[in-house]
Structures are given as C-alpha cells and as structure tokens.
Amino acid sequence: MSEDRRMLPYGRQTIEDDDVAAVAAALRSDFLTTGPLVEEFENHFAGAAGAAHAVACNSGTAALHLAAMGLRLGPGDTAIVPTLTFLASANAIRMTGAEVFFADVDPDSGLMTDASFEEAISLADKYRREIRAAVPVHLNGRICDMRSLANVAKKSNIALIEDACHALGVPSAGANEYSDFACFSTHPVKMIATGEGGVVTTKDADAAARMRKLRSHGMVHAEGELLSREEGFENGAKRPWYYEMHEIGWNYRMPDVLCALGISQLKKLPRFLKRREEIARLYDRLLAPLAPALKPAPRGNDPHGLHLYAVLIDFEKLGTTRAKFMDALRAEGIGTQVHYLPVHRQPYYRDRYGERVLPGADAYYSRCLSIPLYPSMQDADVERVVETLSNLISKAQ
C-alpha cells in the first residue's frame, strides 16, 4: 500500500517522544511495579477526571470488578447492565458471583435511558431479583442522562457504577456527582494509552482504601488493622515480615512503568480531546450529504468524549450487508468496527438467563459502524474515509 493508502484503524494510541522518555526513565528507576508513580498517576488522574479519589489498576475490566467489590456485590445480588456494551461491563458483575439483568437501550444513541432502566427494574422485579446496582455505559463518549438515571436508582435504592471507559476527559464523567463509582480504561484505543490499565474514581475514601487493598491480594500491613496480636507482634512491636489477609483479593496492580506513561499521556488529554473534536466536526460536515443512507449516531448537546465516531447505516436498504461493506472498506485501507454485539446474545449469557428480546439494542446494533477517529489522523485521512464511504454508498444504491 502506498503512503497515502496506509491502513487507518478505527482507533489507535498517540505515543510521542516524551512518552517514550518517561517510560525509559521509569525503567531505569528502582521500581518496575508498585512505586511512587502509582500514587502520582492516581493524583493526576483524579485531577483530570474531577474526582475525589482515583484508584489505579491494570485494566478497565479490573476497575469495574473492583467497583463491584466496592459495593460488596455477591451471590444473591443482581445488577442491571445495558446490553449494548463491551463484555466486561457485565462480566465484572458476574465475577463477584452476582447476576446480571440486561436492560435495553435507545435505538439511536445506544444508551440506557431512564425509561429502559425503569423497564428493566420492573421486569427484574417480576423474576424476583434483588437489584442492588446498575452500570450505565457512556457509549462512544456520550454521557448517559445521569441525573435521570440517579432519580430512578434512588427510588429503588440502587447504586450506580458508571462505565466511563469511553468518556475520560468529559467533565461530568469521573466526578461521581450521581454515581458511587466511575470506571476508566487506558487500553490503546481509549482516550489515553498505557498498554493495559484502568482506574476507578469515587467520593468514598473508605471504598478507595478497600479497593487499593483488593487490587493487591487483600493484603493488610498497617499495624492498626491487624487482627492477630499473637502472630503479628513480639514484645509489643509488629514483626517486620507480618501481614494479614481478611478477604480475597487479586493482583490488579498497575506497574510504575505504565503509570509513568499514564502521567505523560494525561498531560496531553486536552490536546487529544480538542483534535478528536475537530475531526468529528469535519466528519459531520463532510458526511452530511450522505444522509439518509448514512447518519452519524446522535451526539446530543452535552460535552461528549468522542472516543468513537459511530455512524448508522441501514445496510439492508442499501442492498448490502455490513460484513461486505466492512470488507470493501478494509480493501481500501479503512478499518472499522462494530461497537457492540449485544452482550445478552452471548452463548454464556443465553445459557444462563435464556432468550431476551431487546429491540432497541437490536436496532442500534444492526446499523452501527465505528469509523476511524484518533488524534493523529490528518484532515486528508478524514477526507479519504468520507470519499470511500461515499463511493461505496453510491455504488450500492
């Protein structure tokens, strides 16, 4: 492929020389895994997200699991999860032993609304499930109407965990105004990249301390927290090697080396967001003539994270299939992806909960396609994507 026909993925990281230098410096330091950069990254992250406390861990999935553990979800509990999301939003609930009840989403935005949330609550009630939590997902970077969802949640005493993996940098995501926890990912396609990585934000200092314990095996070192005087102390002083475990934990630690990258990347978040916005506006303008065959997923009026640029296409009406359409784009060097296959359709969840009919999710899923969007894209790349889409659509019509 010639230089101007190089592959444009649907998303990718932006790593610059100073990011590389920050990682190299961390590699030469005394700490590869937990060291001083973990707390420094957490402090920077809390600042960027407007959060009281930020707990770093090694993936967005781990962040969701820690948040679910922060709520002490477990067997016998149920959490509502919109089906139009990545597997991890639901799996993190199951990892605690709690059950998932899937909610439908709006057919155009793909978001859980107060209506689909209420519907899920009343349906779950029919199955006599005790709903303790819900996981609103800010799909593509569009923030759910958290105020409305929180009103609904409050009436039924339901806690909220925001899956904000698409929404780092949006002022209302991460501040926990309406939620107990918000979870982020620093996977390379997300807003900042550390390879693997995740963060939970919360206003609850005790929950933050507990999640820090759970991310490292549930180990307790502090003298005041130890239960056994007899094992742990000698002549009134703590034995130097002694630690305790009071509940099961994991190894969800984020290494110092990756925290170094995270700190460096966070400094660029405003610039990345600004570029994402410029690209989205250029797409908006250039794609407008392709309506009604192709329409951008509605983005609403509130600040948007622009993690993904999703378009909605009625492939059947165009006389094609999404697979053929994606293949034709790929042949032109344009990568696209489907976000997401509704999770309730996964064999694991079908086996566990039986068939569900969620028409809003089906309507969104059948039409959605994420086209390339990442900060290092050039305007000419955007023009090339639109030209290729335009040619494919006029050929199909």
Interaction site with ligand PLP (CB under 6 A): 59-61, 85-86, 88-89, 137, 163, 165-166, 185, 187, 198
CB of 308 to ligand PLP, least distance (A): 9
CB of 58 to ligand PLP, least distance (A): 8
Asked whether 166 and 138 are in contact (CB, 8 A), the reply is yes
CB of 278 to ligand PLP, least distance (A): 23
User: Which residue, 189 or 220, is less far from ligand PLP as judged by CB?
Assistant: 189
CB of 350 to ligand PLP, least distance (A): 20
User: Which residue, 60 or 360, is less far from ligand PLP as judged by CB?
Assistant: 60
User: Which residue, 65 or 322, is less far from ligand PLP as judged by CB?
Assistant: 65
Bridging pattern class, strands 181-185 and 198-202: antiparallel
CB of 387 to ligand PLP, least distance (A): 29
User: Which residue, 370 or 388, is less far from ligand PLP as judged by CB?
Assistant: 370
CB of 60 to ligand PLP, least distance (A): 2
Distance CA 201, CA 14 (A): 24
Asked whether 110 and 139 are in contact (CB, 8 A), the reply is yes
User: Which residue, 110 or 333, is less far from ligand PLP as judged by CB?
Assistant: 110
User: Which residue, 120 or 318, is less far from ligand PLP as judged by CB?
Assistant: 120
User: Which residue, 85 or 265, is less far from ligand PLP as judged by CB?
Assistant: 85
CB of 186 to ligand PLP, least distance (A): 7
CB of 273 to ligand PLP, least distance (A): 17
> Which residue minimizes CB distance to ligand PLP?
60
User: Which residue, 135 or 158, is less far from ligand PLP as judged by CB?
Assistant: 135
Distance CA 53, CA 175 (A): 9
User: Which residue, 185 or 264, is less far from ligand PLP as judged by CB?
Assistant: 185
CB of 161 to ligand PLP, least distance (A): 11
